[in-house]
Structure 1
Amino acid sequence: MLPSLYISHGSPYLMLMKNETTKFLEELSSKFEKPKFILVISAHWVTNNLKILYKQNPSLIYDFYNFPKELYELTYDAAGSLEMSDKIIELLNSHNIEIEKDMSRNGFDHGVWLPLRFMYPKAEIPVIQLSLPYTNVSDLYNIGNALQGLREDTLIIASGAMTHNLRDISWEEPNEIKRYAKDFRDWMVEKLENGKYRQLLNFSQEAPFVQHNHPTLEHLLPLFIALGSSKSKIGKSLHNVFMYGNQSMDTIIFKE
């Protein structure tokens, strides 16, 4: 059975870098067997209701601004799969979860193709994207739970950021980790690694410095779909690195 992952995808700048995190992402796919499909839930596609990108040949969305020209020249030519999309729709419907086909969205945002360009640079595996519905963490957890059966041949990736306060980035002292970021990251990882999922579902009341780390929650919320897709509810941190003083680059792997 394939794992599910929660990947902190970081800034688009990461695609032009060579560092500890890019090396980690390049080697990440060696830790499990090659999937037949990849299903991604990204922080950068938030919708009122759950949707699935329903295109056989999605394009790329360069959903970032005022970055170097080289970033807008990058490509990732992964195909979709309407057959697999239909299977996912049927599976979710069987769990009484409504989902809409989205045929108007152009393609994959950078929360999808940034990590995949490192993990699977040949782009030979079909990729399907689900939106992140604007709902509570219990509903997201239930969506993940419904997706468990896909893990026989599908790698589930939740793409976001364990901490995400862009207003308080340290460009001048990037190696000095801010206390609020470390405390929140450590609380989340301790609960994940010990299977304390009920406390995780109540993170907004129990975790330290939630507002400091997530002025808005869209980069954390994909985690709960990955958590729900795990049978054991135990996630292990694979990459405890910070960038810019407050950006945790944790990747969490859920496997049985």
Structure 2
Amino acid sequence: MGETFLLEVRNLLRGPGATVADVADRGLDHGAYVPLKAMYPDADVPVLQLSMPTLQPRALMDIGRKLAPLREEGVLIIGSGFFTHNLRAMTTDDEQVYPFTAEFDDWGRETLAARDLDALLDFEHKAPAAKFAHPRADHFAPLFVSLGAGENDLDALRTVIDGYWFGMARRSIQLG
């Protein structure tokens, strides 16, 4: 990763607790590695993985807003997680899912289609079975960085992947 790019990211994220460092020997987290392996199997693109300093949706959306100018430079911003993520609700059949998983996924699909950011940001109180769908929000939280970065393209928001994988909703959206 080039020092100029790291400096640019550091400047965009400027503020309390905003530390940007290139730790080349760390490797990628599975949340970054898995989708990138599918998208770029030859690993021929530079990648800068950012750790999320919080799981608070509004703070993560603000981080996405700060990163939005990078999109104008051709930088792909990916918020990778799972639309539902409860390992105790995993199944061996992608057609068989727990009702709370389907309810949360349906709510998310409808809420995204309505572009209701306020409801999404308050998903823990607004979504059905949020605590069951996400006992911990770390897999849903990257959505907010992506929504913040692509906020100006909400009209172009579309679902590009849906369905289930081992009983977990794998809904993926694209902005722009």
**Cα distance, 1:103 vs. partner?**
5.2
The answer to whether the aligner puts 1:131 opposite 2:36 as a matched pair is no
Task: Give the Cα separation in 1 of the matches to 2:55 and 2:30.
Answer: 22
Richer in strand (by share): 1
Richer in helix (by share): 2
* C-alpha spacing 1:177/1:115, structure 2 compared with 1 (3 Å): same
Per the alignment, residue 200 of structure 1 pairs with 120
Task: Give the Cα separation in 2 of the matches to 1:100 and 1:92.
Answer: 8
Q: CA deviation digits over 1:181-240, x for unaligned, max 9?
A: 111011112111221111111111110010111111100011111011111435321111
Name the SS for the 1:107 alignment partner: coil
Task: Give the Cα separation in 1 of the matches to 2:70 and 2:16.
Answer: 15
Task: Give the Cα separation in 2 of the matches to 1:201 and 1:132.
Answer: 16
Per the alignment, residue 114 of structure 1 pairs with 34
* Structure 1, unpaired ranges of 5+: 1-79
**Cα distance, 1:135 vs. partner?**
4.3
The answer to whether the aligner puts 1:90 opposite 2:11 as a matched pair is yes
**Cα distance, 1:142 vs. partner?**
0.5
Give the share of equivalent positions with the same residue, in percent: 31
The answer to whether the aligner puts 1:242 opposite 2:164 as a matched pair is yes
**TM-score, length of structure 1 as denominator length:** 0.63
Per the alignment, residue 19 of structure 2 pairs with 100
Alignment of 1:71-82 (within 5 A): 80-82=1-3
Q: Give the counterpart of 2:80 among 136, 144, 159.
A: 159
* C-alpha spacing 1:206/1:127, structure 2 compared with 1 (3 Å): same
The count of corresponding residues between Structure 1 and Structure 2 is 172
* Structure 2, unpaired ranges of 5+: none
Per the alignment, residue 225 of structure 1 pairs with 145
Task: Give the Cα separation in 1 of the matches to 2:20 and 2:68.
Answer: 21
Task: Give the Cα separation in 2 of the matches to 1:133 and 1:98.
Answer: 8
